[in-house]
Chains A and B, each alone.
Chain A
């Protein structure tokens, strides 16, 4: 039987099994992404349009990081603990089909939050969105990178260890990453670290496609994302096939 029909049935099983949770997370992300845009304007008194644009174009990146590096690893941790992971490994399908179906679901969950928060921010602040055609491949690439990395480390590490990493990532991404503010506010050593880590590149690529007339992303950002994406998914497939 073909990969396409395998994909279809695996997708259905995975979606229905966790449907309640997925709907809850999608709703939660709408709230979080609106919250980032509005909440930070309380933190920064009288923000100028540029600051708001930074926040508004940073929120989708936070959503992707949150989904890929926090919620997804928690789900994998559960699947490992309750034996579902072992069961999936006995299915008569290619392991990358399972990974593909799950990735599609995670992608679908993040989209409502990003769309709604962008519309809300535009209506409230009109910060100067200028959405380029690159938004589709950019979103896809950023999503796949964060999902891929999430898979990579949660398959590799024990549930407890990956939970720890998740907590550190969500705090670090919100407070110490150039997602919601410009890179040059960070100390130099953190700047060099972010040149290697994927978070900065995600934010840059996202900004460049949501406000193309204000922000630019470098080729380096795209390459950085690609490398992390391949590392993540490659690692996950390697571990799934490991005996």
Chain B
């Protein structure tokens, strides 16, 4: 086991008596060679948790162990076990990607550092054209890829990636996932912090869904999906506004995102749903539709919505 988080609670006290419970009694573990997805909306408490794993913040309650030793006892040790890609852009100034990644590799690995690793990473991510461009002249995606490389050039036993694919184009995203996969083959573990649920689903071995400081559910993707039952989902692109469309009564949970409408249903309702969707398309209300088994995103939305309903 690489990481053991035991009942971690972190409360931020604001002005007066205001309290923000950023992490509420979180417990989970991460094994060697595992990719662990930490999903949740903005403000769910993901980055606070990461900062405690790194020893940058001290939990108010609970304990975090890295390779069997408490982080609080030795934060410096925690920082050498973990390598991090932060959520925000790192201002590289005049450092070129090659310089930045090489120096970070040397800082982490010392004499064991292999310069070929930088070449290989740049090749794998198709970054050659920017390798010697000054950081301040790089595009957002190229900067993000550079900080990703800084985190994985001499990876710690635990690599923490906070929204690594932000700003990155779809083609290089695929390369990036491949690099992450390769890390785990060498026995490194990865924490993937993201709100991009669709992407994470394909990459992670296990996930935890966080909301308002709590872990709502954790397990492998199929376990998390089955928490919302064995269902199908349909995704529709709307031609007209939602108010023109009558969502069928058998829709179990629905949500709309721009012109995209998604709802889930019992598998027995698949044929009625297809007929309904075809009918909507014939009326010119829907551009196209796709039917699939439920995804983690459905579980995620249902779980976070449920919690709001309770409150």
Contacts and interface: CB of A to CB of B under 8 A. Distances in A.
Contact of B84 (A6, A21, A90): A90
Nearest to B86: A87
A87 B56 contact: no
Nearest to A90: B84
A90 B54 CA distance: 7
Nearest to A17: B93
A144 interface: no
Interface string A87-101: 101111110000000
Interface string B76-88: 1001101110101
Contacts of A92: 76, 79-80, 83, 107-108, 156
Interface in B92-127: 92-95, 99-100, 103-104, 106-108, 110-111
A46 interface: no
B265 to A, nearest CB: 44
Contact of A86 (B76, B88, B135): B88
A1 interface: yes
A87 to B, nearest CB: 5
Interface size class of B (residues with CB under 8 A): 20 to 34
Report whether over half of chain A's contact residues are helix, strand or loop; otherwise say mixed. helix
B57 interface: yes
Contacts of A6: 107
B305 interface: no
Contacts of B1: none
A20 interface: yes
A83 B88 CA distance: 7
Interface stretch (A8-16, A155-163, A226-234): A8-16
Contact of A13 (B75, B83, B100): B100
Contacts of A86: 56, 86, 88
A13 B56 contact: no
Given A13-B103, A92-B79, A94-B76, A82 B110 contact: no
B86 A83 contact: yes
Contacts of B104: 13
Nearest to A95: B76
Contact of B107 (A18, A20, A93): A93
B110 A5 contact: yes
Contacts of A16: 93-95, 99
B14 interface: no
B258 interface: no
B58 interface: yes
Given A90-B84, A91-B107, A84 B90 contact: yes
A19 interface: yes
A93 B79 CA distance: 8
A36 B100 CA distance: 39
B107 A9 contact: yes
Identify which of B75, B93, B135 gathers the most chain A CB atoms within 10 Å of its CB: B93
B89 interface: yes
B128 to A, nearest CB: 20
B95 A90 contact: no
Identify which of B55, B95, B156 gathers the most chain A CB atoms within 10 Å of its CB: B95
Contacts of B95: 13, 16-17
B107 A90 contact: no
Given A89-B56, A243-B55, A84 B79 contact: no
Contacts of A10: 107
A239 B29 CA distance: 31
B91 interface: yes
Contacts of A19: 93-94
Identify which of B55, B88, B107 gathers the most chain A CB atoms within 10 Å of its CB: B107
A1 B104 CA distance: 13
B19 to A, nearest CB: 18
Contacts of B110: 1, 5
Contact of B90 (A1, A12, A83, A89): A83
Contact of A9 (B55, B93, B103): B103
23 contacts: A1-B110, A9-B106, A10-B107, A13-B100, A13-B103, A16-B93, A17-B92, A17-B95, A18-B94, A21-B93, A82-B91, A83-B86, A83-B88, A83-B89, A84-B91, A86-B88, A87-B90, A89-B56, A92-B83, A92-B108, A243-B57, A243-B58, A243-B75
Given A16-B94, A91-B79, 15 more contacts: A1-B110, A9-B107, A10-B107, A12-B103, A13-B103, A16-B93, A18-B93, A18-B94, A82-B88, A82-B91, A83-B90, A92-B80, A92-B108, A94-B76, A243-B56
